[in-house]
Amino acid sequence: MMQQWETTVSNEEKPNEKSRAIRARQRAIGRELRRMYDDVAQEPVPDDFLDLLRKIDDAEQQKSGKKVS
């Protein structure tokens, strides 16, 4: 439904060449965004994060330790 409308409108505006160009640019933008995202995702996880999990663990251990004993 949405797509139908879009096609109708852009066809009236201009032939396919323009929309092809737009799609190509959108793909390029998509690549750029994925690169930004993947670059961060591929960084090694900073030690802070692992320390944090360890701290949470310790806190919980104390808590449950108190309950048990």
**Site residues, another protein (CB under 8 A):** 1-2, 5-6, 9-10, 13, 22, 25-26, 29-30, 32-34, 36-38, 40-43, 45-46, 48-50, 52-54, 56-58, 61-62, 64-65
| In contact, 18 and 10? CB cutoff 8 Å | yes
The SS3 of residue 42 is coil
Amino acid at 50: L
Residue 64 Cβ vs another protein, minimum distance, rounded to whole Å: 8
In the complex, minimum distance from the CB of residue 18 to another protein, in angstroms, rounded to a whole number: 11
Smallest gap, in angstroms, from Cβ of residue 36 to another protein? Answer: 5
Task: Say which residues have a Cβ less than 8 Å from residue 10's Cβ, sequence separation at least 6.
Answer: 18, 19
